[in-house]
Amino acid sequence: MELKSNHSSPVLTDPTPLNKSRLGIHSNLLSYPQSGGSLSSGKYITIPRKKPGKLDDVRSNGWLDAMKSSSPPRKKLIKDINIEVAAADDIDIAYCSWMIKYPSALKSFDQISKNAKNKKIAVFLDYDGTLSPIVDDPDRAFMSDSMRSAVRNVAKYFPTAIISGRSRDKVYELVGLTELYYAGSHGMDIMSPVSHTGSNGHTNCIRSTDQQGKEVNLFQPAREFIPMIDEVFKTLVENTKDIKGAKVENHKFCASVHYRNVEEKNWPTIAQCVHDILKDYPRLRLTHGRKVLEIRPVIDWNKGKAVQFLLESLGLSDRDDVLPIYIGDDKTDEDAFKVLREGNRGYGILVSPVPKESKAFYSLRDPSEVEYVDAQEFWLSTELDAVSALSEIVPDTVIFDDFEKFPPTAATVSSSLLLGILSLPDTIFRNAVDMALADSTCSALDNHELRLSCFVNKALVNVGGDLAKLVPGRVSTEVDARLAYDTHGIIRRVHDLLKLYNDVNVPPERLLFKIPSTWQGIEASRLLESEGIQTHLTFVYSFAQAAAAAQAGASVIQIFVGRLRDWARNHSGDPEIDAAIQRGEDPGLALVTKAYNYIHKYGHKSKLMAAAVRNKQDLFSLLGVDYIIAPLKVLQSLKESVTAPDEKYSYVRRLSPQSAASYNFTAEELVKFDQLSLASSMGPASVELLAAGLDGYVNQAKRVEELFDKIWPPPNV
């Protein structure tokens, strides 16, 4: 859920003209074969101004009926007050009946909030009729100050995009918020981030820069139609100039004819003008809006596909933990509503003062109600809700004693957890350990060390299997730290654990394997990931380790924030830490930020986990990172806080793909790490902390084996 101004995305200056081969335009974007005036020859059909004929064409093909159905009549002032009240009552009764199917989003807050829990929200907004009222002059469709403030507040917490039929430049001019993404011409002109690999390789994406000099993707699937739209626009202006009230707009990739101020008796004339032009442009088509006729290219693209493209660009597509919300009022917004309704992916909210059929789930009566979609007051109820919208928060607890109060989304099974279970006989996981000690395969082993190792592996897997039933996410299983410098030993142990997990019916996609970030551990991660086995690299205390882990393709990289801070308080002489302190930065937070930016700027698949978080301020400073392991006392404080934090510690996104794109790395930091370069790049802090972490894990593993040796065999074996 994106946050604050890290979503910065001002309007672009288009790059130099491009040819088709560079654009990568493909015929499969077109819904039927290209015909009509050639675009490649540089010559275009000139449409002479025509006088309307009998207007049989527009009547017979239903254009006029469509114009009337998409243009509800204005309220008329009725002198007879009783008649006016009766008419109003009829409208209210019909609207109330309609709201049974499309309930008010405001009154349905509890249901929406419940479904949004622990999910990342992405917000998509139409402009005209949603953020601004429908007015007679489209150039005067201004947002109110309160609406702009509400949208700005939403964008602080969630990635927010405006998808409008207007040109992207025009809608940016009207909105003027750099925190948003903008998609113009019904999604045929989209600016998106470059940090996620999903949309970067799209055939119609080109690399460009925004007005702040940041690198972005520019997606314009109908770019070759610009000359054609320009010509149609000029012809429409000429052919409608004598029709009082008609207004023609060029939205770059589509043209529109507004007839809001045209007397209804002249609507057929407007329709005939458009009809006559379209006859000569078979690669263009007509769509209807609220008292507007729109001419756009015949390509398989609409606002629904724009939503999908933006979700992909933000790394939010095909994820169960994402809730897209689209608010719009127009017929063209139905494509977006349909996309979100399919598979219950998200919610469409229709803004309409009158009943009409829609693919939306909920409704709002007018733009004034849209203002209530204020991130802080409408969506968020506690600080814990707020931060959970930006990063996945994992409770830092050994035996899940607060499972109901703070239900975890993921879990780790380790020697430390086994020690906790053994110290509390009544825990729900004790039976899993007892069953491991009763395992006949392990018991049959003659070698004492092999038998104990077998018991430990079985206990880890039994507990991990129980945890997999309790958490929706993945379970990470610790690999014996005594194998930290043995690449093939790590791989063999992971394969053994996988077989045991298969016996308890836990599929590989639900599993991670936690490996120390020695060079041998990183190599093991690379080889395991190449097999499709997910790894979790821990004890990362330097940028070199983080970069090497990302290059290896580790699924999760874990950095201990507080441990680096503790080391810096009592030591000096580490170049990386000293540089962070000289910049006035906390060394742990600085490493997480740098690693996040590296992963996202260069398209690595790794997710980043921040551990050893000591307080709320640490957590606020890391919002946007994939996972934060937080102590229960911090979670309790967040859950009890329902007031907005002050500006210094406000819960806005600190880490984002957009900020990562502008981060600069030195040539030395961009090397492909090998064993020698990794060793030479690790400072004293990472060397000492890695060794200390390994010693701690080894001691815990030995302690578990000692306890197992004392209690084996169990009384019932």
Task: Please give the positions annotated as active site.
Answer: 514
Other CB atoms within 10 A of residue 262 CB: 19
**Long-range contacts of the stretch 352-361 (C-beta < 8 A, 24+):** 353/95, 354/72, 354/91, 354/95, 355/94, 355/95, 355/97, 355/98, 356/98, 358/102, 358/334, 359/334, 360/102, 361/102
Question: Which has the closest alpha carbon to 416: 514, 555, 559?
Answer: 514
Kind plus residue range of the DSSP H or E element containing 515: strand 511-516
- Reduced to 3 states (helix: H, G, I; strand: E, B; else coil), residue 509 is helix
701: closest CA among 418, 399, 413? 418
Determine the Cα–Cα distance for residues 633 and 33; give it in Å rounded to an integer: 64
Query: Please, are residues 191 and 12 in contact by the beta-carbon 8 Å criterion?
Result: yes
Residue/partner pairs of 667-672 with CB below 8 Å, 24 or more apart:
669/543, 669/547, 669/598, 672/551
Looking at the DSSP bridge assignments, the partners of residue 349 are: 327, 362
Q: Are 280 and 66 in contact (CB under 8 A)?
A: no
Residue 72 phi, psi dihedral angles, 5° rounding: -60, 140
Q: How far apart are CA 550 and CA 546, in angstroms?
A: 6
**Interatomic CA distance for residues 126 and 147, integer angstroms:** 13
Whether 551 contacts 579, CB under 8 Å: no
- Measured from the Cβ of residue 470, the count of other Cβ atoms closer than 10 Å reads 14
CA atoms within 13 A on the CB side of 237: 9
CA atoms lying within 13 Å on the CB side of residue 391: 31
CB 374 within 8 A of CB 343: no
